[in-house]
Amino acid sequence: MTIDEIQNEIAADFKKHGNWFEKRKYLIQIGKSASPCARARASGDNLIRGCQVSTWFYSESKDGKMFYEIDSDSGIVKGIAVLLARIFSGQIPQDIILSDLKFVADAGLEEDFSPVRANSVLKIVGRIKETAAASLR
């Protein structure tokens, strides 16, 4: 599936959940049901220290495609991290670099990407694009 196709699928899932509370409950469940990110947590170098939330980020390039494992100590950020890993894992770096996060508005998750409230999430997005770009060098 392409990046946009996965984003459309996620947005459609979230539209089934009405208000903020239901959407976040779903998001938290997504985070909880994900398999443990042992590789992300294995090294202190993988830690992305946000203003409030700690996130662990692991990426690798394999056969010209990127793969991500992202973990967080916040339930909400973990849920988003899992979504981002799902969207971008298995994609080629060029597509990742040029992609827009269209699902955020469609899924009703805008405030989770607010620079003030959620700088951790934006840092994750930044790392995804940086690692994709680095794999091309």
Where do contacts with another protein occur on this chain (CB under 8 A)?
A: 20-21, 24-25, 28, 51-54, 73-77, 117
Q: What angle do CA 130, 48, 109 make, to 5 degrees?
A: 80
Closest contact distance (angstroms) between CB of 49 and another protein is 10
The two structure tokens encoding residue 90: 């298995």
Which lies closer to another protein via its Cβ, residue 51 or residue 133? 51
Retrieve residue 123's tokens: 């840092």
Shortest distance (Å) from residue 37 CB to another protein:
16
Question: How far is Cα 16 from Cα 107, in angstroms, rounded to an integer?
Answer: 9
Q: Which is nearer to another protein, 51 or 136 (CB)?
A: 51
| Nearest to another protein of 6, 81 (CB atom) | 81
- At residue 29, the 3 state secondary structure works out as helix
3-class state of residue 1 by DSSP: coil
Tell me whether residue 5 or residue 111 sits nearer to another protein (CB atom): 111
Output DSSP code: residue 108. Answer: T
- Shortest distance in whole angstroms from residue 73 CB to another protein: 5
